[in-house]
Amino acid sequence: MGFNCGIVGLPNVGKSTLFNALTETAAAEAANYPFCTIEPNVGRVPVPDPRLDKLAVMAKSAKEIPTVLEFVDIAGLVRGASKGEGLGNQFLANIREVDAIVHVLRCFEGEVTHVEGSVDPIRDAETVETELMLADLDSAAKQRDAAVKRARGNDKEARERLAILEPVIEALEAGRPARSVPIGADQRPLFRQLQLLSAKPVLYAANVEEDAAASGNSYSALVEHRAAETGSACVVISAAIEAEVAALSDLAEKREFLESLGLEETGLARVIRAGYQLLDLITFFTVGPKEARAWTVRRHSKAPQAAGAIHSDFERGFIRAETIAYEDFIACGGENGAKEAGKMRAEGKEYVVQDGDVFHFRFNV
C-alpha cells in the first residue's frame, strides 16, 4: 500500500508504549487480516471500517481483508537533534521516509521524570517542530543554492523549484513549518521532491492518565487548541489503557473493560482512523464470494489509479470500472439487485473515485 505514519516524541512520553499496544492489539484482533511486523519498529495495522463487514455479509464472502496503514516507531528525539544531538541524524533520516507524523505528547503527571523536568505538551510540540524546521532550513538553503546555479543556465525546472523554495525558506526563517506555505496543485510534485520534514501532516496523540481517557484533561485541551490553530489533527489517548487492552485476549473482556472506563472503542482505533484521514485517503471495495476487500487511494484519484492499487496490469490495460456506490449496494441487496435497479455504472478513465465505491475493473493487457 505504501502509506505510513511515523510515531515520534521526546523520551518518557509513552511513544513506545503506544506503538507496542498498537501492534499487539492489531495482531490480536486481526486473525483473518494481513498483519505483519516488518521490523521490530514497523507494524501494519488494519483500518477499522464497518462498511466492509456489511459488504462481506451481504456478498457471503469467505473472508474480509481490510485496508491497512503502516506505523513506524521512530528513534527518540532530544533538543538539538537537528545538530546531531542524541540519535538526531537517525531520527531525521527515518522521518523523511514517512508520509505523516503521529506526535505523542505527554499529558499526565507521574513518577517517571520528564526529560525537560516538567510536563508541558506545548513546549514539547514546539521542541520537535523547531528541530524539524531547523533541519529543513539547512536543507532548503542548500537546495536553493544549487537551483540558483542551474537557473542561470536557463534550467526551467530549477526556476520552478526556486519559486517554491523562496517562500518556504521565508516561512521557516519566520518560525513557520513548510506545510503552512500555500502550494499550487501544479507545484505539488516538485514540493514533495524537496523532502521537507515540516511539510508532513501532523496528528497529535495527547497521552493522558487512565482517569482522563474518556474526557481528556487540561493538558490535552491545550493540545487540541494547538491542533486547531495549526491545522493538525488530535486524538486523546491513554497508552497505559491501550497496553492493558492489548493484554486481554477475549474480545468481550475488552469491550467490558472499555465500557467501564466510559469508552466506546480503543484509542488506537481512533489513532488509526485519524492517521488514515490525515493522509487524505479514501477507501474503495472489491466484493465477491471469495473475499470482500478494502483498498486505499488518495482522495481525487481517478479510476485507473484505483485499479493500479490492486495490480499494475489493471491500470496499464484499464478499459472501464463497473461501479456501485456503497449505499446503493446495501440498499439493493447486493450486486445483482443494484444491476436490476440501474445503480451499476460504467465509468471511464476520467472518473474520480468516491469513498465507498464498489468496483469491478475491466482491463486488457
pLDDT at 116: 63
Position with higher pLDDT, 262 vs 173: 173
Residue 304 has pLDDT above 70, yes or no: yes
Q: Could you give the C-alpha distances from 302 to 4, 184, 199, 280, 327, in angstroms and in order?
A: 21, 19, 25, 15, 20
With cut-offs at 50, 70 and 90, classify the pLDDT of residue 337.
very high
Residue 169 has pLDDT above 80, yes or no: yes
> Residue 206's beta-bridge partner residues?
105, 236
Q: Give the cell for residue 122.
A: 506545548
Query: 121: which residues sit within 8 A by CB, 6+ positions away?
Result: 105, 106, 107, 206, 219, 220, 222, 223
DSSP string, 74-107: PPP--TTGGGT-TTHHHHHHHHTT-SEEEEEEE-
Tell me: the pLDDT tens digits for 26-83?
443 433 333 334 455 788 888 888 999 999 999 999 999 998 888 888 766 656 555 5
pLDDT at 32: 37
Instruction: For cell 465477491, name the residue.
Output: 288
pLDDT at 137: 92
The phi, psi pair for 238, rounded to 5°, reads: -115, 105
Q: How far, in Å, CA of 91 to CA of 3, rounded?
A: 19
Taking Cα atoms as reference points, which of 106, 105, 37, 116 lies closest to residue 71? 37
Specify whether the CB–CB gap between 13 and 124 falls below 8 A. Answer: yes
Tell me: the pLDDT tens digits for 97-113?
888 999 999 998 876 65
Tell me: the pLDDT tens digits for 231-267?
899 999 998 888 888 888 788 888 888 888 888 888 8
Q: How far, in Å, CA of 98 to CA of 79, rounded?
A: 21
Specify whether the CB–CB gap between 213 and 261 falls below 8 A. Answer: yes
> Residue 235's beta-bridge partner residues?
205
Tell me: the pLDDT tens digits for 264-286?
888 888 888 888 888 889 999 99
Instruction: For cell 503521529, name the residue.
Output: 102
